[in-house]
């Protein structure tokens, strides 16, 4: 994943970009960078650092005195070092990208086929994907044609910011709008952001939300569409369910509000099916499970409680570190129980999703060892059947690592993989069978998943505009 922030203004924007990028820290853990354009024509100033062990703000604080400029862009990246500074027939420009390029090797080979071309190789031997995008953009005669050419060529998704040497920022949203891109404005200029709350907090007002494939030019004076939006959008549903920041709005829908609504819909549907268990507390698995649980609790009438509280002072981020074993350990260390709310209590937990099930299994075992009378589990989205191929989404791994796919394989072997749509629907026989098998394997007293219809109802925008590939494999 990753995120970006840029600003072009009549005043210096270093602090805006610094805090704006920092507010995207929940979207990535590997690299971050900022670059500023000096309107005096003395060039660009740029820094890129690893943020694997040190948070963005601490990592970049010492660089601030050396930065100045009325235009700047920056990013949090889960992939390669960026923003890159590129010189070509289009001029000198900075580039940052978010998305996934699944055909990178083929694009690199196609680029080499003309002869006499090269990329800087990273220590892994691979090409920096942002450099690859720059090479694609540079194959055309202007930025709009180049960005469209790159977006057409990429299998996956590509959302990007360009900053030219006169301080103009060009923002392009992915062709299917998998991720959001928003423009904010204040009295001095404009900003571009993935998260809307980032610029609200900096005093910018909502100005515009790019449509799918739209390209917009932004400077201190204003913004204008230089390539119109396409007709088809598939914005990622997981923005609302899991990784979007609660204060943000995408397509006009606030994340926190969607999560309350989602939890309430789950409880409403369970009441109708008569499967609502009698519990002492409804709780959320921190952080993103909590608002879903608040919605579930309000609708079901069961009190909301916090039998686990996250230790935030030194474990503020949800993804780090990169190693899975260490991450599991960290996840365990972060959650501190409240024994008085666990012992002899009937608990219903809501998690944002159930991906591999390993961490959850550990939590459930702990709850029973701590004397919980019952542990019921609810997932705020349907069973995940497919890994994401549109974003570098940390939770999507090999499909057989997904607990739902593993259980389908155990139940029916390869034949089962042909009926994933039925398995994903808890109202079918196969769906019921999957549910009870996972429930048994994980040791829950009961298990429920939000339905696809329920989740889309909670998001509330035209369902054809939402990507649901993770759950139903539909592109
Ligand atoms: S496949 Fe899943 S994670 Fe990827 S964009 Fe679609 S909904 Fe989001």
For residue 340, what is the DSSP state?
Answer: G
Residue 368 contacts by C-beta under 8 Å, 6 or more apart in sequence? 375, 443
Contact (CB, 8 A) for 147 and 164: no
Q: How many CB atoms lie within 10 A of CB 257?
A: 16
Say what angle helices 255-273 and 289-300 make with each other, to 10 degrees: 40
Query: Token pair for residue 293?
Result: 């649980």
Residue with CA at minimum distance from ligand 1 atom 4: 388
Find the 101 Cα to ligand 1 centroid distance in Å: 14
Residue 124 contacts by C-beta under 8 Å, 6 or more apart in sequence? none
DSSP per-residue codes, 386-419: S--SSS--TT---GGGSHHHHHHHHHHGGGGGGG
The closest-lying atom of ligand 1 relative to the alpha carbon of residue 395 is: 3
Ordered by start, the domain boundaries in the chain are: 2-233, 253-472
Q: How far is CA 46 from the centre of its chain?
A: 25
Pocket of ligand 1, candidates 179, 234, 383, 391: which has the most ligand atoms within 8 Å of its Cβ, to mutate? Answer: 391
Pocket of ligand 1, candidates 467, 473, 474: which has the most ligand atoms within 8 Å of its Cβ, to mutate? Answer: 467
Residue 325 contacts by C-beta under 8 Å, 6 or more apart in sequence? none
Buried b (16+ CB within 10 A) or exposed e, 338-358: eeebbeebbbbbbbbbbbbbe
Percent with pLDDT over 70 in the chain: 95
The pLDDT value recorded for residue 320 is 55
For residue 212, what is the DSSP state?
Answer: T
Find the 311 Cα to ligand 1 centroid distance in Å: 29
Our answer on whether the CB atom of 381 is closer than 6 Å to any ligand 1 atom is no
Query: What pLDDT, in 10s, does the model give residues 39-55?
Result: 765 689 999 999 988 88
Our answer on whether the CB atom of 355 is closer than 6 Å to any ligand 1 atom is no
| Positions in the chain short of pLDDT 50 | 318-319, 396
For residue 302, what is the DSSP state?
Answer: P
Q: Are strands 249-250 and 2-9 parallel, antiparallel or unpaired?
A: unpaired
The closest-lying atom of ligand 1 relative to the alpha carbon of residue 237 is: 7
The pLDDT value recorded for residue 401 is 86
Residue 172, SS3 per DSSP: strand
Residue with CA at minimum distance from ligand 1 atom 5: 236
Find the 380 Cα to ligand 1 centroid distance in Å: 15
Which of 292, 308, 400, 315 has its CA nearest to residue 347?
Answer: 308
Say what angle helices 255-273 and 452-459 make with each other, to 10 degrees: 140
The pLDDT value recorded for residue 329 is 74
Pocket of ligand 1, candidates 1, 155, 236: which has the most ligand atoms within 8 Å of its Cβ, to mutate? Answer: 236
Q: Please provide the CATH number assigned to the domain covering 2-233.
A: 3.60.20.10
Our answer on whether the CB atom of 194 is closer than 6 Å to any ligand 1 atom is no
For residue 232, what is the DSSP state?
Answer: -
The CA-CA-CA angle for residues 104, 467, 269, to 5°, reads: 150
Find the 239 Cα to ligand 1 centroid distance in Å: 9
Our answer on whether the CB atom of 242 is closer than 6 Å to any ligand 1 atom is no
What is the spatial distance between Cα 468 and Cα 384, in angstroms, rounded to a whole number?
10
For residue 321, say if its preceding peptide bond is cis, omega within 30 degrees of 0.
Answer: yes
Half-sphere exposure of 41 (CA within 13 A, CB side): 0
Pocket of ligand 1, candidates 157, 178, 459: which has the most ligand atoms within 8 Å of its Cβ, to mutate? Answer: 178
What is the spatial distance between Cα 368 and Cα 142, in angstroms, rounded to a whole number?
62
Residue with CA at minimum distance from ligand 1 atom 8: 236
- Look-up of token digits 């196969």: 430
Find the 235 Cα to ligand 1 centroid distance in Å: 8
Which of 103, 225, 109 has its CA nearest to residue 173?
Answer: 225
Helices (H), 227-380: 238, 255-273, 289-300, 324-334, 358-369
Which of 451, 471, 390, 452 has its CA nearest to residue 98?
Answer: 390
- Look-up of token digits 């694997």: 52
The pLDDT value recorded for residue 310 is 84
Residue with CA at minimum distance from ligand 1 atom 3: 388
Our answer on whether the CB atom of 393 is closer than 6 Å to any ligand 1 atom is yes
The pLDDT value recorded for residue 29 is 84
Our answer on whether the CB atom of 390 is closer than 6 Å to any ligand 1 atom is yes
Look at domain 253-472 and name its CATH class.
alpha beta
The closest-lying atom of ligand 1 relative to the alpha carbon of residue 469 is: 1
What is the spatial distance between Cα 90 and Cα 88, in angstroms, rounded to a whole number?
5
């Amino acid at each position: 994943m990753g995120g970006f922030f840029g600003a072009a203004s009549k005043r210096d924007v270093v602090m805006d970009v610094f805090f704006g990028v920092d507010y995207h820290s929940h979207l990535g853990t590997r690299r971050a960078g900022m670059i500023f354009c000096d309107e005096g024509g003395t060039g660009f100033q740029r820094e890129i650092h690893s943020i694997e062990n040190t948070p963005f703000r601490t990592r970049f604080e010492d660089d601030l005195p050396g930065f100045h400029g009325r235009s700047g862009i920056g990013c949090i990246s889960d992939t390669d070092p960026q923003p890159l500074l590129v010189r070509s027939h289009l001029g000198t420009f900075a580039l940052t990208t978010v998305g996934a390029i699944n055909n990178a090797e083929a694009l690199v080979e196609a680029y080499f086929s003309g002869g006499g071309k090269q990329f800087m190789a990273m220590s892994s031997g691979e090409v920096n994907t942002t450099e690859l995008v720059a090479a694609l953009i540079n194959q055309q005669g202007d930025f709009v044609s180049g960005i469209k050419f790159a977006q057409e060529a990429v299998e996956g998704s590509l959302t990007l910011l360009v900053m030219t040497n006169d301080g103009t920022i060009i923002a392009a949203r992915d062709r299917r709008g998998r991720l959001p891109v928003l423009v904010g404005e204040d009295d001095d200029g404009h900003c571009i952001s993935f998260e809307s709350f980032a610029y609200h907090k900096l005093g910018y007002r909502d100005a515009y939300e790019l449509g799918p494939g739209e390209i917009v030019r932004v400077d201190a004076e204003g913004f204008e569409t230089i390539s119109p939006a396409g007709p088809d959008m598939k914005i990622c549903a997981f923005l609302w369910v899991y990784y979007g920041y609660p204060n943000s709005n995408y397509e006009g829908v606030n994340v926190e509000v969607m999560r309350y609504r989602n939890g309430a819909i789950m409880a409403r549907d369970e009441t109708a099916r008569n499967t609502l268990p009698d519990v002492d507390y409804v709780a959320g698995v921190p952080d993103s499970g909590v608002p879903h649980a608040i919605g579930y609790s309000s609708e079901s009438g069961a009190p909301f409680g916090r039998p686990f509280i996250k230790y935030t002072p030194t474990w503020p981020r949800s993804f780090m570190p990169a190693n899975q074993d260490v991450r599991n350990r960290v996840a365990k260390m972060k959650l501190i129980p409240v024994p008085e709310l666990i012992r002899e209590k009937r608990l219903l937990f809501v998690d944002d999703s159930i991906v591999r099930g390993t961490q959850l299994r550990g939590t459930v075992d702990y709850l029973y060892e701590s004397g919980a009378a019952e542990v019921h589990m609810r997932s705020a989205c349907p069973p995940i059947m497919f890994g994401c191929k549109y974003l570098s989404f940390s939770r999507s791994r090999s499909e057989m690592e997904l607990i739902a796919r593993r259980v389908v394989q155990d139940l029916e072997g390869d034949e089962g993989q042909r009926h994933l749509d039925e398995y994903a629907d808890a109202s079918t026989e196969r769906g019921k069978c999957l549910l009870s098998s996972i429930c048994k394997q994980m040791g829950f007293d009961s298990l429920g998943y939000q339905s696809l219809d329920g989740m889309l109802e909670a998001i509330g925008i035209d369902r054809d505009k939402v990507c649901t590939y993770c759950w139903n494999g539909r592109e």
